[in-house]
Amino acid sequence: MTDNLDRPTGAIPGAVQAAPICHPAAMSRRHRLLRVGLLILGVGGLAGAAALLPMREIGDAVVALGPGAAVAVAVLGGLLLSVLVPRTAVTVACGALLGAATGAIAALAAAIIAATATYYLGRWAGRGALQAKTGGRLARLDGWLNRRGLAAVLLVRFLPLAPFGLVGYAYGTTSVCRKRYLLGTTIAAIPSTVTYAVIGAAVAAPGRMGPLTIAPAVISFILSTAIVIRWRQTSRRVLAPA
């Protein structure tokens, strides 16, 4: 009698109640889409705010900080790069505000800050997205990036394929380790950073520029061009047998 009362209405005697089926893959996909959406909203909101900020007044206030100006510029520049502001504009502004040498150091620090932040945010939002497409083009791309390692990072960073911050977000979704990514990004950023910082300093104070101050920019430009040409030649030789 007790058994009949305790049994739920409509239950069949002796039948085992089926447990609810959970789909981990579907949940993972929904979570990933949610995170990507949140990341897009955050980046878009910050980008819109950055477009409305009085950058000239902010620049003057930052320079007035004195010795801490370089640190403030680096942090602000890293934030701007993370919301997809072009690195050329940020680096030129660093040179104009701080001079060629200090501006180049601050711009390079900003690039490293943005590269680190975008990589980890991309990994948080889309880690495993490429691996989920097993056998597809994205999976093959992820495998190629992982095999080439540092060389692949250098190639992608040297070529103007996409905004600096967007490349960082994309790399976060790959299986490339953070050490190779950050090392390759730093090496690839040095030539263009020096070049554009010198240009910014020359625009702000043309009278202070001379052959010796422009020389680092020329050397960096020649070096980056030589690296890209060398890489293309090596890639052609490797792909020729295939």
In-domain check, residue 63: yes
In-domain check, residue 96: yes
pLDDT band at 127 (very low <50, low <70, confident <90, very high): low
**Residue carrying the six token digits 């690039």:** 111
Structural domain for 136, as ranges: 53-235
Q: What is the pLDDT of residue 81?
A: 93
In-domain check, residue 103: yes
pLDDT band at 232 (very low <50, low <70, confident <90, very high): low
In-domain check, residue 113: yes
In-domain check, residue 186: yes
Position 21 pLDDT exceeds 60: no
Total count of domains within the chain = 1
Rounded to two decimals, the pTM is 0.70
Which is higher by pLDDT, 129 or 181? 181
Q: What is the pLDDT of residue 78?
A: 94
DSSP line for 155-216: HHHHTT-S-HHHHHHHHHTSS--HHHHHHHHHHHHHHHHHHHHHHHHHHH-GGG--HHHHHH
Tokens of 172: 């976060």
Q: What does the pLDDT average to over 224-234?
A: 69
Give CA–CA dist 79/53, Å, rounded. Answer: 13
Report the mean per-residue pLDDT for the chain.
74
In-domain check, residue 110: yes
At 156-208, the pLDDT tens digits run 887 777 889 898 988 888 878 888 899 989 988 888 898 888 888 888 777 66
Q: What is the pLDDT of residue 14?
A: 47
At 60-103, the pLDDT tens digits run 777 778 778 999 999 999 999 999 888 989 999 999 899 888 99
In-domain check, residue 167: yes
In-domain check, residue 111: yes
